[in-house]
Structure 1
Amino acid sequence: MGPPLLDISSPVSIRAQWARQHAIYGIKEEWNKLVRLAHGRRPDDEGLDLPELIEGDTLDEAPLKMIPKDGTAGGDLLAINVGIVGAGAAGLFSALVLEYLNTAQTSVKFTYDILEANMTKRSGGRLYTHNFSQQPHDYYDVGAMRFPKHAVMNRTFSLFTDLGMDFGSLDPNGDWANDPPLGTLIPYYLTNIDPTSGLPQEPWRFNNVNNWGSYSSIATENEDPWAFTADKTIQIDTRLLALKLSPGDIMTALLEPLRQQLRDDIKNQTNTGWQTLMSFDTMTMTQFLSSAWPASLPQPTLPPPRTGDVPLPPYNYDTIQWFETFNGGTNWYDQAFSEIVLESLDFDFPKPGDPDIEWYCILGGAQQLATKMEAKVNALSGNPSKVEYSSQVTALVQVDAMKVNVDINGGESKSAYGGETRSYSCVFNTTALGCLEHMDTTAVLFNSATRQAVRSLGYGPSCKVAIKFTRPWWIHDLPTGTAVKRGGLGHSDLNIRTCVYPSYNIYDPDSVTAVLLCTYTWQQDAERLGSLMGDDETQLRTLLIADLVRLHAPSNATPKQLEDLYLLIDGSYDSHFAWDWYKEPNAAGAFAFFRPFQFSEMWGKMIIPAGDVVVMGEHASPHHAWVVGALESAVHGIAAWCSMTATNNAVYAAAMKDVLDVLTNTDPNNPYVGLPPYMDLNMELWHGCLGAAVRQGMLEDRQEPLGRLTPNDRAGAEKQRAAALLTKLGIEGDFAKA
């Protein structure tokens, strides 16, 4: 039994530890293929009799012998010109990392271009805020909108600090003149707490039944408060309904035995939790809930102060739908079971004794983060317009080692229409994978696994629609007991599903306009609502108003109450703005949404440099769908490419060592340094070796394509190429004698 793979007491999140192991497995699999080829074996040969093979769950020292153990580079600065594709969070941040490296070491001078397809001169990508006007609070976040202050998010919050984005509070009297400046981090309220009772007070509309409060307070009065089983056509597990706990609380209890096994691994020096989690990576959440409870897991118990056991799966279809309807979007449980477990460990549940997680939003919208990053890039580069807008990258071509051609707006052949071709030492592609798939990457050194990931890695659909009203009616005009005065959510199975009450206009008076994020949907809910978005959105507007009336109606509302509520909401309508991320050509999806096998089989290979083209973005991090994932991917991508470049020769090795010395510094207050917690320097050096192998092999294949050779000649050529690379890396073995 090897050392424990997961450590719940570690400051590194369980999700990052999970990612680290899959990154190691990715290195192991790709390296062992190379070694077997060098020995004339098939790449899928499972024999372990070759001394250069990686065995077990850990890595030996990377065979990058040209990295000096000490000393620094000398002579002239090495000039590295980088093409950054995309001006979203990862693109802008990678530019800031390069600027920091230019000041922190004297061996390499990085220059760069930032190529952004957006034609409206808006940076940020999915950091997107729509402003209805320039009036304060007259906006909503179309993309990222909330930030938990959590250890996993440390890099994001240190970036906030570096950009001068301080914590602050709104003026409680609603005087905008006394609000803090735009870009300030203000509290984000996940739940509306009634100021009089001090209890949660939110609308819940399911199965045409309205209730107000929290799920637990509503269920206390009735174990089936939305009458799901009243007509006997749906059979939700009555054992679960009788608990009078929310589906979220029951799900927490169901996940707890596996989470506890992960905690016990470190105490008992075992890998039981890890192996159990791995065994479920092939399953969706639906498959797990419809299967018999695994014998490897103990019986789940009810959350304190309750006692007793949770009734076990397998659950029927209606029960699983009940869980999914309250806990996510329609088809949310199509994602990998392991993803849901890891998310619960990272974000939903602090460790025992930890304070509750504080959440924040950015006054003025999350695009303030992009605006401030772009301003800093401009200042540091000395170029007031460093981001080149209307510059759509249409093709990437690996011409030679450290030479990548980038076609912009069609390339030189389209020069009459603004097209051009530029050459870079390397390219950091920070676009979403859907946008990368739209480019011509025929001549990029992507291996088959990376091409498969670009095509098939799951991306979740998401839509948002905000309505600007003439007054904040949800704060000031609803009856006592139903007013929503401090943020929070509205919950429903309506078309709008989740209604988000902003935390930035909670003190606004009844005399000003106000914006309500009336629907935030995912998965199939988003696909269906998105079908109503286009040039004519009359049907969408009608549907939104009707659903808002249904959601905010009191329990057992009379026809007169419904009519009055409709007149209030419809009469307050000013305008709306709708957005479907799958219809946005510069995104082609909202966020990475990993399905079974995708983390364990694809992610660890996708983050290895594909020659001089590096894939960055939230999809290239275990923390997908979060800004911190984009930031981490940039630091890793730069470190991995520098490690690969160190294989060029001794001069490059010494220079890149200086860069890596800076990048691997650990300073929690500096967002631009410190490898992501799922990587270390040795793993980056391994990625460098594998990236060099990909680059050399594919460039040689252009000169003598293996596909044109006979099977015997091809096997010999593959062996010769693999052996030559291992020799270049300083590895001595029997393969070198052939």
Structure 2
Amino acid sequence: MTNEYAEKHPEALGFPVRTLPNGSHQTIQQIWSNALTPFINLLHDNFNDGLKKLALFDSLSVRDYLIQEMGIEETYVSSIETYSSATGLFRLAFSEAVIDVEGGMQRFPNAFLPLVGENIKYKNSVQELKRLPDNKVGITYTKVPDNQHQFPPLTPQNSITETFDHVIVTCPLGVVRRWDLPDFSFGKRTAIRCLNYDNSAKIFLQFRTRFWEDPAKTQNPIVGGTSSTDLPIRTIVYPSYGINSGEPGVLLVSYTWANDAARFGANSDEDVAELALRDLVKIHGKVARDEYLGRNGVHYWSTDPIAGGGAFALFEPGQFTSWIKDIKRPEFNIHFAGEHTDVHHGWIVGALNSAVYATHNVMEREGHKRLFHKVAEPFINQYSLPLPTDPIA
């Protein structure tokens, strides 16, 4: 069943149709669109005004907003969540409510390698940030031996401390939480401890052929795009590259968030792969099992130590207006960047914006504000990034 068909025939999914006082009917898709459209239009016309309007409702969850502000009954709210989101996400802030890099997303960070070169230190784990005299910053870290995969405990024998004029911390706050930190402000400490990150899980399966594109093998071939379902796998992402190549294909059989992702994490990778394959068979037929090569990959952001226990920042009600200034504000010469520090959190553009903001802070403190504008403005203009003068700076 396609999304287009589901929108025209909501009864096919068992979703209720809301009857208005004038006798007309609203589908869950229309209810959801009516809730979002005024905010989307205002953000499009004037981003700052739209952001201020959203902030008025930041203390409400999506569920609260639909029920309290729009008068939508709980039955319809639960149906909207099933259709358009992930189970449990509607408890998060209303203010929260895929573009790929050609050739693979790894090209984005790899593009920085020629510029940074040997300054990158691999297989190191930061243990402590320390404020030193004359506003210097000390970083203490441990290095993993080449023949090991786990970070050894911090001891005087294996610790390394280096001193810097400025430090920009870009790690997720779940990682920063594990460090020994200097006496940050109360707001910064609270944000590091409490800011909500969403869970996420991806399940990849490899197949002998890209059967989902072949009309000879499946009744409704799909070339790129996504499929949504209320089965445990929730969202299938079909690759938009290598189409009709005749080569074996890897399918993102399940991309989940929130509670849907957490429930996968209670099982072994092999059990999860089998569950995903079983759900895929229900959607595409027995050909999915026949073509499966037995190779899979499963990744949980909640158990990834580098991610710090979450995939991306997703603020709970009240967190954005209460903490966004504290999250991005420098503490002496320790600066903070990353998607979680920007209004566009959860996406690459938020990380880019935060990099501009943090770089501006460093150069301004060093008396190079004019140089910053000379160097950064061509980049800012090319990618339509804001100068660091946004309303929450």
Q: Give the shorter-chain TM-score range.
A: 0.7 to 0.9
How does 1:406-421 map onto structure 2 within 5 Å? 406-409=139-142, 414-416=155-157, 418-421=158-161
**Residue in structure 2 matching 1:487, options 224, 248, 252:** 224
Q: Residue 569 of structure 1 aligns with which residue?
A: 289
Alignment pair present for 1:318 and 2:75: yes
User: Which 5+ residue runs of structure 2 have no aligned equivalent?
Assistant: 144-151
Cα contact 2:63–2:90 (8 A) shared by 1: yes
C-alpha displacement of 1:239: 5.1
CA contact 1:237–1:315 (8 Å) conserved in 2: no
Map of 1:423 onto structure 2 = 163
- Alignment partners' CA distance in 1, 2:216 and 2:26: 28
Which residue pairs with 1:504 in the alignment?
241
SS across alignment from 2:132: strand
Task: Determine if the alignment matches structure 1 residue 398 to structure 2 residue 131.
Answer: yes
| Deviation string, structure 1 residues 54-99 (Cα, Å, up to 9, x no partner) | xxxxxxxxxxxxxxxxxxxxxxxxxxxxxxxxxxxxxxxxxxxxxx
Deviations 1:364-397 (A, max 9, x none): 420122222213322xxxxxx3311111101100
Could you give the per-residue CA deviations for residues 567-600 of structure 1, whole angstroms, max 9, x where no partner exists? 6424523300000011110112101101221121
What does residue 513 of structure 1 align with? 248
Deviations 1:76-127 (A, max 9, x none): xxxxxxxxxxxxxxxxxxxxxxxxxxxxxxxxxxxxxxxxxxxxxxxxxxxx
Structure 1 CA distance, aligned partners of 2:93 and 2:204? 31
- The reply on whether 1:371 has 2:103 as its aligned counterpart is no
**Which aligned pairs between 1:181-580 and structure 2 lie closer than 5 A?**
212-213=1-2, 215-220=3-8, 222-228=9-15, 237-238=18-19, 243=25, 245=27, 247-258=28-39, 277-291=54-68, 293=69, 313-340=70-97, 360-378=99-117, 385-409=118-142, 414-416=155-157, 418-441=158-181, 443=182, 445-476=183-214, 481-484=219-222, 486-509=223-246, 512-533=247-268, 537-552=269-284, 565-566=285-286, 568-580=288-300
Task: Find the counterpart in structure 2 of residue 56 from structure 1.
Answer: none
Q: Is the 8 A contact 1:545 1:570 kept in 2?
A: no
Is the aligned partner of 1:583 residue 2:303?
Answer: yes
Equivalent residue for 2:332?
611
Code of the residue aligned with 1:375 in structure 2: it is P
Are the counterparts in 2 of residues 393 and 407 from structure 1 also a CA contact under 8 Å?
yes
For 1:582 and 1:462, the matched residues in 2 are separated by 7
Residue pair 2:356, 2:387 contacting (<8 A) in 1 also: no
Task: Confirm or deny: 8 A CA contact 2:167 2:333 kept in the other structure.
Answer: yes
Matches within 5 A, 1:643-682: 643=364, 645-646=365-366, 653=367, 656-663=368-375, 665-666=377-378, 668=380, 676-677=385-386, 679-680=388-389
Change (3 A) 1:465 1:450: same
CA distance in 2, matches of 1:475, 1:264: 39
Instruction: Name the SS for the 1:281 alignment partner.
Output: coil
In the aligned structure 2, how far is the partner of 1:568 from the partner of 1:492?
16
- What is aligned with 1:3? none
Instruction: Describe the superposition over 1:237-261 as per-residue Cα deviations: whole angstroms up to 9, x where unpaired.
Output: 355997475x444322233345567
SS of 2:107 mapped into structure 1: helix
**Alignment partners' CA distance in 2, 1:520 and 1:568:** 18
CA gap of 1:590–1:242, structure 2 versus 1, over 3 A, is farther
CA separation in 2, counterparts of 1:594 and 1:405? 31
Q: Do the aligned residues in 2 keep the contact of 1:414 with 1:420 (CA within 8 Å)?
A: no
C-alpha separation in 2, matches of 1:457 and 1:421:
29
CA distance in 2, matches of 1:412, 1:405: 19
Go from structure 1 to structure 2 and tell me whether the alpha carbon gap of 1:487 and 1:399 turns closer, same or farther (over 3 Å shift).
same
In the alignment, residue 662 of structure 1 is paired with which amino acid? K
Structure 1 segments unaligned to the other structure (5+ residues)? 1-211, 230-235, 294-312, 341-358, 379-384, 553-564, 647-652, 688-738
Measure the CA separation in 2 of the matches of 1:583 and 1:526.
Answer: 11
How far the C-alpha of 1:604 sits from its partner, in A, is 1.4
Q: Which residue of 1 aligns with 2:313?
A: 592
Residue type at the aligned position of 1:544: A
Scaled by the length of structure 1, the TM-score of the pair is: 0.48
Task: With the length of structure 2 as denominator, give the TM-score of the two structures.
Answer: 0.86
The one of the two structures with greater contact order (alpha-carbon pairs below 8 A, sep at least 6) is 1
1:438 partner SS: coil
Spell out, residue by residue over 1:143-162, the C-alpha distance to the aligned partner (whole angstroms, 9 max, x if none). Answer: xxxxxxxxxxxxxxxxxxxx
State, as a whole percentage, how many aligned pairs show the same letter.
27
> Aligned pairs, how many?
382
- SS of equivalent to 1:634: helix
- 479 and 238 in structure 1: CA distance in 2 versus 1, 3 angstrom threshold: farther
The answer to whether the 8 A contact 1:219-1:225 is kept is no
The separation in 2 between residues aligned to 1:540 and 1:525, in whole angstroms, is: 12
What is the SS of the residue equivalent to 1:586? Answer: coil
Q: 1:219, CA displacement in angstroms? A: 4.4
Structure 1 residue 224 displacement after superposition: 0.7
Compare CA radii of gyration and give the structure with the larger one.
1
**How far does the alpha carbon of each residue in 1:550-571 deviate from its partner, in whole angstroms, 9 at most, with x for none?**
122xxxxxxxxxxxx3364245
Cα distance change of structure 1 residues 395 and 515 upon mapping to structure 2, 3 Å threshold:
same
